[in-house]
Amino acid sequence: MSQESPVLAEPDEITDMPETSEPFEIEDFLAAEQQKDLLRFTTAGSVDDGKSTLIGRLLYDSRSVYEDQVKAVTRSHAGEADAIDFAQLTDGLRAEREQGITIDVAYRFFATTKRKFIIADTPGHEQYTRNMVTGASTAELAIVLVDARKGILTQSRRHAFISSLLGIRHVVAAINKMDLVDFSEEVFAQHQRDLLSLAEKLEIPELLCIPISALNGDNVVTRSERTPWYLGPTLLEHLESVPIAEYLQHAPFRLPVQRVIRPHQNFRGFAGQIASGIIKVGDAIVALPSGQTSRVQSIQTFDGALESAFAPQSITLTLEDEIDISRGDLISHQANTPVSTANFEASLVWLHAEPFTAEKTYLLKHASQTVKARLNVTHRLDIETIEQESAQSLSLNEIGKAIVKTSRPLMVDAYRDNRITGSFILIDPANNATVGAGMVRHAEALEPAETRSEQKTGALLLLPQENIIPTLEAAFLASGEDVVVTRIQKPEVWRTLLRAGFIVMVPADASTQTEIVTLNAGGEFAKQTLLEADHETIQQKVTQLKKEAEQNDREF
Amino acid sequence: MATAVYSPSRHDAVPPARLTHLQMLEAESIHIIREVASEFQKPVMLYSIGKDSSVMLRLAQKAFHPGPIPFSLLHVDTGYKFREMLEFRDAYTRELGLNLIVWRNEDALEKGANPIALGTQRCCGLLKTQALLDGLRAHGFDAAFGGARRDEERSRAKERIFSFRDSGGQWDPKNQRPELWNLYNGRIGPGESIRVFPLSNWTELDIWHYIHLEKIPIVPLYFAKERRMLVRGDSLIPVEQPFVKGLPGEEQWVRCRLRSLGCSPCTGAIRSDADTVPKIIAELISFRSSERANRIIDHDQDGSMEIKKREGYF
Ligand SMILES: Nc1nc2c(ncn2[C@@H]2O[C@H](COP(=O)(O)OP(=O)(O)O)[C@@H](O)[C@H]2O)c(=O)[nH]1
Ligand SMILES: [Mg+2]
């Protein structure tokens, strides 16, 4: 049974694959299965440190691979016992099979009697900081592989640094290939000293060193008799016992609103996944950025209403008052709100072959909203020395610091305090590539948010010919604009939509003329009448007006 | 008073709450589904009628409750699906009040496309991949949910949750966007689209366990029963299509079930007594081969899943 007893004496041959032998009650199994929690961890190591072998070993010893998968990677030589190539169990795509190296983040799954695990397996090749950062972003624990014969190399230092940068609280240094140094206590102790001083420098709160042999299984799942001097847990014991996201619920409540759910007039729910903290019915809340306040009326889920909910549950809140909340807003308790800022300092990892450009306006996605952003890189980190140097640009796989200015205020926490409200990605609007990953360093506005001018780049069309609306809509959508078609005639609604940068199409009385409405610098409506009203002319004119409005905005 | 460093009463009345792994996965999937519904113009959910689709559909219900699911379902019907699958599909989607779109490559079917005449690869290419791409294009869907999981097959282990497809619907493993935290980049240009996999982090066992806990209806073909089968070596080939003919004596009644649902000529059954979900789970954890080993098609070629994916298949 794959989940029942993960501890298996060193399996050398196929025939050691788990057997269904003990009597087995499925209901007991399911009850135990239901109690398991989920730990996400990441693994990093230089090429040939034994990362694939270690993962293969964890999967195999915990019986999370099937016989056909093992058969496919078993080499038979006449007269010898079959040798399982553990590394091959986890190496996926054709390209990397050909090159013999891992080239992208791969996710693996295994389980023990206590817990389920998701491994973000990230390749250790020089240029793949990007992959390590990706894998670390959702992990709570990192295993850094160190070759016992080599000790801490640049790569190990880089991995430890990235773990720390990405806010991983539990780091394990697996000192691998101990069999090749005769399981020497001295060798281990020396590496441990070096690693602990590195951890202190990097402010890693918890670092555990474990002497292992991935190839032979020592201290991976079963305790090794060859390291009697090592008294700590095996790797798997440690993975099974680290606390999971214990800090999440003690952090202040944050709900980024993903969507307003409105099945009928009497229900308006704000749906999202709780980023941190706990919420209860009756709690006093504030909606940001508007600052409007109310109380929680109910917490809705498909499985019934809840009295309280906590991170990372996905829920829907209803409030006692009719306040205006939409996607991109954030709900928090009144007592402890995030900082609303359009100007802050962040750590930045560059993920794209095309380097960072200060002249470019990027799109920035934070929680459930996307805004425009301009950045000034101030520093680059030398990954070898972990020292910072001043810099204006970053290229692929480089890490630095930047000042970020956004077109609208974001509700942020420092990344150190909250990985969800403290993180963002950058998108290049020219090709839609994800080019950067950012972490808010200080949740402080560098200048008061009020002094920043609002974006006013939207345009509203009053269209007497209703039949051209679908064509126009398609054309605008194709050019990357966000389009709203509405019959609402309220100026305050129009203003909000324009400030949000939408193209708004409003069907008008057939006797009128086509008009384009924009917001001027003073926030007032400016109208232009169009005589030629075919869709191409309209689209051209709107694009031109939007460009002008954008240029007028001094900040951008 | 003892000088305790650790004080459990620090966070007053609130007990430390904990989510189980299934609750964590559920919360993550709901987040993904809501992001897609909010960021795309015209998303659709690929509905294959199988167990993964059934879970995905339940998660979509949960994501928008008490509102309706704000997108349609698309079933790519190869023409060779099991009769019981189609019956289940129609009854279940009607019961839930969902908008179901069925798409078939009628052209190829009229010309007599079938796995015996064309071979499984060409047949899949026309009736599955081509039909899927045509269906998505004809309706102008810019995002399509699929129920694929990363634990299914090695090439899937690297798949993103938001998987970018170019204007030909093709997947380039080298040109996928890095995916960090829970921030998904859904920006696309004209003609491009995103395949979304909200079940990426679920395992086969998770799926069955969730079906069990949530009492999600599934197609009866998953449960063991006496069925008419072509018995050939270790394989049990379902007899449903007229072109599936055995040698004398090959056709027999066998107590069996299907482990994954596909087209009747190409999906082998397994001998089994599992006629309840817990029994299926018990059987699953004693299995010695992975789920896809039962699919006749994946063995055609080493890495065949990856080739199909590059061409636009899920
Ligand atoms: N002697 C010994 N060799 C190991 C050990 N772990 C891995 N190796 C070998 O080191 C080589 C590289 O291993 P692999 O897992 O592919 O490294 P990766 O590049 O980090 O994934 C292979 O030949 C492994 O068999 C170990 O604990 N002891
Ligand atoms: Mg490797």
Whole domain around residue B252: which residue ranges? 220-299
Task: For chain B, positions 266-285, list CB contacts with chain A under 8 A.
Answer: 278-279, 281-282, 285
Instruction: Looking at the complex, report in whole angstroms how far the Cα of residue B52 sits from the nearest Cα belonging to chain A.
Output: 17
Nearest atom (ligand 1) to Cα of A45: 20
Amino acid B165 reads: R
Max avg pLDDT among A31-35, A254-258, B265-269: A254-258
CB A314 within 8 A of CB B30: yes
Supply angle C-alpha A538, A544, A548, rounded to 5: 145
What φ, ψ does residue B163 adopt, rounded to 5°? -105, 120
Q: Is A156 in the pocket of ligand 1 (CB under 6 A)?
A: no
Nearest atom (ligand 1) to Cα of A216: 27
User: How many whole angstroms separate alpha carbon A163 and alpha carbon A170?
Assistant: 9
CATH code of domain A248-333: 2.40.30.10
Domain residue ranges in chain A: 36-241, 248-333, 340-440, 455-553
User: How many whole angstroms separate alpha carbon A120 and alpha carbon B176?
Assistant: 16
User: How many whole angstroms separate alpha carbon B105 and alpha carbon B100?
Assistant: 17
> Within an 8 Å CB–CB cutoff, is residue B70 touching chain A?
no
Does the distance separating the beta carbons of B151 and A109 come in below 8 Å? yes
Q: Per the structure, how many domains does chain B have?
A: 2
* Assigned domain for B14 exists: no
Task: For chain A, positions 255-294, list CB contacts with chain B under 8 A.
Answer: 258-259, 261-263, 267, 269, 271-273, 278
pLDDT band at residue A338 using 50, 70 and 90 as cut-offs: very high
- What is the predicted pLDDT for the residue at A79? 52
Domains A36-241 and A248-333 share a fold: no
pLDDT band at residue B295 using 50, 70 and 90 as cut-offs: very low
Max avg pLDDT among A55-69, A92-106, A169-183, A243-257: A169-183
* In a shared domain, residues B29 and B82: yes
> Within an 8 Å CB–CB cutoff, is residue B286 touching chain A?
yes
User: How many whole angstroms separate alpha carbon B174 and alpha carbon A103?
Assistant: 9
Say how many Å lie between the CA of residue A53 and the centre of ligand 1: 6
Amino acid A382 reads: D
User: How many whole angstroms separate alpha carbon A444 and alpha carbon A248?
Assistant: 21
Q: Is A51 in the pocket of ligand 1 (CB under 6 A)?
A: yes
Digit-coded pLDDT (tens) for A143-172: 999 999 999 888 888 889 999 999 999 999
- What is the predicted pLDDT for the residue at A324? 92
Q: Please indicate whether residue A345 or residue A533 has the higher confidence score (pLDDT).
A: A345
pLDDT band at residue A4 using 50, 70 and 90 as cut-offs: very low
> Within an 8 Å CB–CB cutoff, is residue A62 touching chain B?
no
According to CATH, the superfamily of the domain at A455-553 is: Glutaredoxin (3.40.30.10)
* In a shared domain, residues B260 and B174: no
* In a shared domain, residues B168 and B265: no
Does the distance separating the beta carbons of A107 and B157 come in below 8 Å? yes
CB B32 within 8 A of CB B198: yes
pLDDT band at residue A414 using 50, 70 and 90 as cut-offs: very high
DSSP state of B280: H
Does the distance separating the beta carbons of A137 and B180 come in below 8 Å? yes
pLDDT band at residue A517 using 50, 70 and 90 as cut-offs: confident
Digit-coded pLDDT (tens) for A473-510: 888 888 778 889 988 888 878 888 888 888 999 988 88
- What is the predicted pLDDT for the residue at A77? 55
Does the distance separating the beta carbons of A327 and B158 come in below 8 Å? no
Instruction: Looking at the complex, report in whole angstroms how far the Cα of residue B19 sits from the nearest Cα belonging to chain A.
Output: 7
User: How many whole angstroms separate alpha carbon B149 and alpha carbon B207?
Assistant: 10
Neighbours of A109 (CB within 10 A): 21
Mean of pLDDT over chain A: 85
Handedness of CA A542, A545, A546, A547 (dihedral sign): positive
Q: Please indicate whether residue A409 or residue B295 has the higher confidence score (pLDDT).
A: A409
Domain of B198: which CATH number? 3.40.50.620
Digit-coded pLDDT (tens) for A351-394: 999 999 999 999 999 999 999 999 999 999 987 777 899 999 99
Instruction: Looking at the complex, report in whole angstroms how far the Cα of residue B42 sits from the nearest Cα belonging to chain A.
Output: 12
Q: Which of A68, A90, A107 sits opposite B290 (nearest CB)?
A: A68
Q: Is A45 in the pocket of ligand 1 (CB under 6 A)?
A: yes
Does the distance separating the beta carbons of A425 and B41 come in below 8 Å? no
User: How many whole angstroms separate alpha carbon A30 and alpha carbon B206?
Assistant: 11
* In a shared domain, residues B168 and B266: no
Nearest atom (ligand 1) to Cα of A100: 16
Does residue A18 register a pLDDT over 50?
Answer: no
User: How many whole angstroms separate alpha carbon A14 and alpha carbon B300?
Assistant: 24
Instruction: Name the residue among A259, A263, A506 with its Cα closest to residue B40.
Output: A259
> Within an 8 Å CB–CB cutoff, is residue A434 touching chain B?
yes
* Beta bridge pairs of residue A485: A505
Does residue B168 register a pLDDT over 90?
Answer: no
Q: Is A122 in the pocket of ligand 1 (CB under 6 A)?
A: no
> Within an 8 Å CB–CB cutoff, is residue A451 touching chain B?
no
* In a shared domain, residues B253 and B204: no
Peptide bond into B198 cis (omega under 30): no
Beta strand spans in chain B (E): 43-46, 72-76, 100-103, 143-145, 162-165, 193-196, 225-232, 235-238, 251-258, 269-271
Handedness of CA B280, B281, B285, B286 (dihedral sign): negative
Q: Which residue of A has its CA nearest to B179?
A: A134
Q: Which residue of B has its CA nearest to A109?
A: B151
- What is the predicted pLDDT for the residue at A546? 73
Instruction: Name the residue among B192, B222, B229, B202 with its Cα closest to residue B49.
Output: B222
Q: Which of A42, A48, A59, A84 has most ligand 1 atoms within 8 Å of CB, for mutation?
A: A48
Mean of pLDDT over chain B: 86
Does residue B202 register a pLDDT over 90?
Answer: yes
Q: Which of B11, B41, B155 sits opposite A250 (nearest CB)?
A: B11
CB A294 within 8 A of CB A332: no
Name the token pair of A169: 């609280």
CATH code of domain A340-440: 2.40.30.10
Of all residues in chain B, what percent carry a pLDDT higher than 70? 86
In order of A113, A255, A258, A511, the CA distances from A309 in angstroms are 27, 11, 17, 54
Digit-coded pLDDT (tens) for A42-89: 998 888 889 889 998 888 887 766 555 556 666 555 555 556 666 666
What φ, ψ does residue B61 adopt, rounded to 5°? -60, -45
* In a shared domain, residues B243 and B179: no
Does the distance separating the beta carbons of A246 and B27 come in below 8 Å? no
If DSSP codes are grouped into helix, strand and coil, which group holds residue A444? Answer: coil
Give residues with Cβ within 8 angstroms of A192, minimum separation 6.
A173, A175, A209
- What is the predicted pLDDT for the residue at A269? 97
Does the distance separating the beta carbons of B288 and A66 come in below 8 Å? yes
Nearest atom (ligand 1) to Cα of A176: 27
pTM for the whole thing? 0.81
Nearest atom (ligand 1) to Cα of A85: 25
pLDDT band at residue A318 using 50, 70 and 90 as cut-offs: very high
Instruction: Looking at the complex, report in whole angstroms how far the Cα of residue A183 sits from the nearest Cα belonging to chain B.
Output: 34
Q: Please indicate whether residue A281 or residue A74 has the higher confidence score (pLDDT).
A: A281
* In a shared domain, residues B230 and B205: no
* In a shared domain, residues B91 and B226: no
Instruction: Looking at the complex, report in whole angstroms how far the Cα of residue A19 sits from the nearest Cα belonging to chain B.
Output: 7
Q: Which of A43, A51, A53, A183 has most ligand 1 atoms within 8 Å of CB, for mutation?
A: A53
| Topology given in CATH for the domain delimited by A36-241 | Rossmann fold (3.40.50)
* Assigned domain for B189 exists: yes
Q: Which of A33, A263, A273 sits opposite B209 (nearest CB)?
A: A33
Q: Is A50 in the pocket of ligand 1 (CB under 6 A)?
A: yes
* Assigned domain for B6 exists: no
Say how many Å lie between the CA of residue A147 and the centre of ligand 1: 9
Write the residue with the smallest CA distance to atom 12 of ligand 1: A48
Instruction: Name the residue among A58, A136, A133 with its Cα closest to residue A90.
Output: A58
**What would the mean pLDDT of B24-46 be, rounded to a whole number?**
97
Q: Which of A24, A133, A420 sits opposite B182 (nearest CB)?
A: A420
